[in-house]
Structure 1
């Protein structure tokens, strides 16, 4: 019988890197989007589609790869996904047109999604009932990537052009592949031969999607959608309208999203005592407050670097709580289908980002209004959905 993999710092570092890969893939290239459009003779704003298709593939893939890993194991799905990621990243480097680049980004998103959903499922496999703090730590790895990558991407674009950030993403993924092949062994010791089959999958989803799970999934989706509106739209606003350089823009975004780490650290330290739902409630309230203040400041005082950036710190601080706490609250009670639960939460997160990105792409008018309005709207919906569903479920299933 295979010996169960034990928790270790080395494994946790690997899982943090896997969780961060999707954000590295996106945040590194954001400062290069304007240069990419110019080199490929694409219309302004068309590069937003490259962000949207990535998160669409990233989310949809998790609906398949999560339950498939419950059936086949985490390791084969993880290795296959990482190899697809490497091929797609090479394709991006060689792309000659925006449609070709967008197609490569979609394939890259499919490969990267394996890293995220497997990292979350592996945490549940190994840490079991103590998975909450460990999940929060893996999210901190992802958030560190969000903080560091925009500034680093801005510097790389200035030094090496639009291809330099993509090349760094390829190098990072190559190192992760080598570590996975050499150090990681299977953690799913109880394979379910029925997992992934349509009948069993439908039954599992019907059982999984109760009111409590839906509250966490929808809150995660709209919270991430609120943040993604700024992530995807900020390059055009800060560089095009506020006239920051790519490196200044990267440092500004990094300063804003640094609050994500503060929220995740708070979650990691308090989730055992407060529970996931309480932390999600605090976090989504901060997100809604930050989105509302951003909208009011923009309408009253107009567009400015500080007026846009400072209220968004509240959004990212709350987001840093919502992301790990909602995933922990969804995955921890579902040990027997950790891949399924982790996959659906990843899908929900990316669905929110995709919806937000598509609206931003189709509604943009050359001003910052669309970005600011979508940020506030998604934040308000996240707060409303969570508290509505929580009120409806509390009498029957109050937390101890």
Structure 2
């Protein structure tokens, strides 16, 4: 860990770009709905569009990072990210805003793919899990700080100020990475073309370990984004809190992600990735169940929402680094491809959940049911998926 100290700060900023892009404007979503003259559910699509483009964009950057190295695709993604934030800042209707968010996700995903690939380049096994957990614990500052900043910007300026802030952040990050990020990709590079890329993705997707960890990581992301996409409507519109106070409450929940990441880092030295991921999934299931019970008995109260969500968030923080590390561990110079496919599945699943929840009037009970279902299915997955992975593993070995 000590020798990776210089990379740690850069990796945290790269990975934190996603949380910052999602969380900073959450306090402004009710005001955005009014400004764009659309329903809160329609404004919720700005989260879904970002997540979807973030998900599928990773499938592009993964092979590029394996072919051209880590730096060049990252810098291209940052350029797209800058343009996208300017489009969002100047948007005057929902269509332009959605287009800007689509481009924003396409640019931001480069940071996530490359950060994970760099970790795989420089650290293996439990060391990689601990490094990812360290990055995640530091990265948790983004969802703590971002909604607080966003709430203040919304209160004193307008929703556009959040996107201007992201323009400045993106420009500063681009300059820093251009001068400070070393190339870590292995000398042997993957061929680039439709055939080789398709075969690489197919080979990765068939690996039993990849399937197991990607499913658990995807379900954890679904649970977290179910809360992220509905929290503004629940807390601001439903419970009557102001946007700046909402930002503080959201940030308080994000503190639990940091705590969970720190605990996961400690546990990674004593537990294998499978055990750590399943333990975190259990916490997600319990948190969702407590939310359902509390909401049914006591109604929509802030502590009924946030206390169970704290347990859920700590569970997600434990699952995420273990799932990332476990999914990429079997792959060497295909780390970018494995990272991209893992991330794509996680965020497509999260986008589907947020889109489905946008169709309903969500209260604490409905949110709790969604979270508990994610955790319960994750706990059942080892038995449900064991036969499938055995069959796939036999086919891969025979090939």
Runs of 4+ residues deviating >6 angstroms: 391-394
Select the residue among 328, 348, 352 that pairs with 1:351: 348
1:373 matched to 2:380? The reply is no
Measure how far apart 1:248 and its partner are.
1.6
Q: Check whether the contact 1:40–1:97 (CA below 8 A) recurs between aligned residues.
A: yes
| Structure 2 equivalent of residue 253 of structure 1 | 250
Measure how far apart 1:317 and its partner are.
0.8
Distance 1:310 1:128 in 2: 35
| Structure 1 equivalent of residue 319 of structure 2 | 322
Measure how far apart 1:298 and its partner are.
1.2
Distance 1:228 1:193 in 2: 33
Distance 1:393 1:193 in 2: 26
Task: Map Cα deviations across residues 294-340 of structure 1 (whole Å, 9 max, x no partner).
Answer: 11211222211111111111100101101111101112231221101
Q: Check whether the contact 2:268–2:276 (CA below 8 A) recurs between aligned residues.
A: yes
1:115 matched to 2:116? The reply is no
Select the residue among 217, 220, 224 that pairs with 1:220: 217
RMSD: 2.1
- Larger deviation, residues 235-244 vs 146-155: 146-155
1:334 matched to 2:309? The reply is no
Select the residue among 182, 187, 190 that pairs with 2:184: 187
Change (3 A) 1:331 1:253: same
1:35 matched to 2:31? The reply is yes
Select the residue among 261, 269, 286 that pairs with 1:289: 286
Measure how far apart 1:368 and its partner are.
4.6
Select the residue among 157, 160, 164 that pairs with 2:157: 160
- Larger deviation, residues 38-47 vs 351-360: 38-47
1:83 matched to 2:79? The reply is yes
Distance 2:178 2:347 in 1: 27
- 1:129-144 alignment runs, 5 A limit: 130-144=127-141
Distance 1:270 1:43 in 2: 44
Secondary structure of the residue that 2:300 maps to in structure 1? coil
Q: Check whether the contact 1:226–1:378 (CA below 8 A) recurs between aligned residues.
A: yes
Task: Map Cα deviations across residues 272-291 of structure 1 (whole Å, 9 max, x no partner).
Answer: 33121111011000001101
- 1:304-323 alignment runs, 5 A limit: 304-323=301-320
- Larger deviation, residues 206-215 vs 89-98: 206-215
Measure how far apart 1:201 and its partner are.
2.7
Distance 1:201 1:189 in 2: 18
Distance 2:62 2:383 in 1: 28
| Structure 2 equivalent of residue 3 of structure 1 | none
Distance 2:182 2:215 in 1: 33
Change (3 A) 1:375 1:249: same
Measure how far apart 1:132 and its partner are.
2.3
| Structure 2 equivalent of residue 16 of structure 1 | 12
Q: Check whether the contact 1:77–1:114 (CA below 8 A) recurs between aligned residues.
A: yes
1:61 matched to 2:53? The reply is no
Distance 2:387 2:295 in 1: 33
TM-score of the aligned structures, taking structure 1 as reference length:
0.92
Change (3 A) 1:63 1:7: farther
| Structure 1 equivalent of residue 94 of structure 2 | 98
Q: Which runs of 5+ in 2 are unaligned?
A: 394-399
Measure how far apart 1:166 and its partner are.
1.7
Q: Check whether the contact 2:62–2:337 (CA below 8 A) recurs between aligned residues.
A: yes
How many residue pairs are counted as aligned between the two chains? 389
| Structure 1 equivalent of residue 194 of structure 2 | 198
Q: Check whether the contact 1:72–1:191 (CA below 8 A) recurs between aligned residues.
A: no
Q: Check whether the contact 2:81–2:107 (CA below 8 A) recurs between aligned residues.
A: yes
Change (3 A) 1:121 1:202: same
TM-score of the aligned structures, taking structure 2 as reference length:
0.92
Distance 1:315 1:70 in 2: 34
1:302 matched to 2:299? The reply is yes
Change (3 A) 1:262 1:390: farther
| Structure 1 equivalent of residue 69 of structure 2 | 73
1:239 matched to 2:236? The reply is yes
Change (3 A) 1:94 1:240: same
Distance 1:310 1:202 in 2: 44
